[in-house]
């Protein structure tokens, strides 16, 4: 039986922390499906537009070797539907989301992975803005 893993993220200004979580998520199963958060969802959630558009972010994530399939995550509230649609056996999230999706445990296993320290999209944007 194929074990499907699902994970979600914005993956804006793609960096090694993003790569590591995707690699570790993929290692938990046979097939990794990634929900890339929509521009509109980001605007609602973070109050700013991502640097790269949803189409660009999806193209980058889809090109990664450990990723089998990508889709657009339109709402945080639709997690249960996405898990069902993609027949996910495991939901993986970074531990900045620890506890937030425990209620999905009735439809799949829920795993929180530790974040890669000392790197974030926000810090990168600040660093690059300082150089310009």
**Residue ranges binding ligand C2G (CB under 6 A):** 8-12, 17-18, 21, 37, 73, 76, 93-94, 96, 115-116, 119-120
Enter the tokens of residue 40.
Answer: 């509109």
Longest CA–CA separation in the chain, Å: 51
For ligand C2G, the closer CB: 11 or 31: 11
For ligand C2G, the closer CB: 68 or 116: 116
∠ CA(24), CA(60), CA(129), 5° rounding?
Answer: 100
**Is residue 30 within 8 Å of 126, Cβ to Cβ?**
no
Minimum distance from CB of 79 to ligand C2G (Å)? 7
For ligand C2G, the closer CB: 51 or 68: 51
């Amino acid at each position: 039986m194929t074990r499907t893993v699902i994970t979600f993220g914005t993956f804006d200004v793609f960096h090694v922390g993003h790569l590591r979580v995707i690699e570790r998520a993929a290692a938990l199963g046979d097939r990794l499906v990634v929900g890339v958060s929509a521009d509109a969802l980001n605007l609602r959630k973070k109050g700013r537009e991502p640097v790269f558009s949803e189409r660009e972010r999806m193209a980058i994530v889809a090109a990664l070797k450990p990723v089998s399939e990508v889709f657009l995550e339109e709402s945080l509230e639709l997690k249960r539907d996405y898990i069902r649609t993609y027949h996910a056996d495991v939901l993986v999230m970074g531990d900045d989301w620890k506890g937030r999706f425990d209620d999905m445990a009735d439809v799949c296993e829920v795993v929180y992975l530790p974040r890669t320290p000392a790197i974030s999209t926000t810090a990168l944007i600040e660093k690059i803005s300082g150089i310009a």
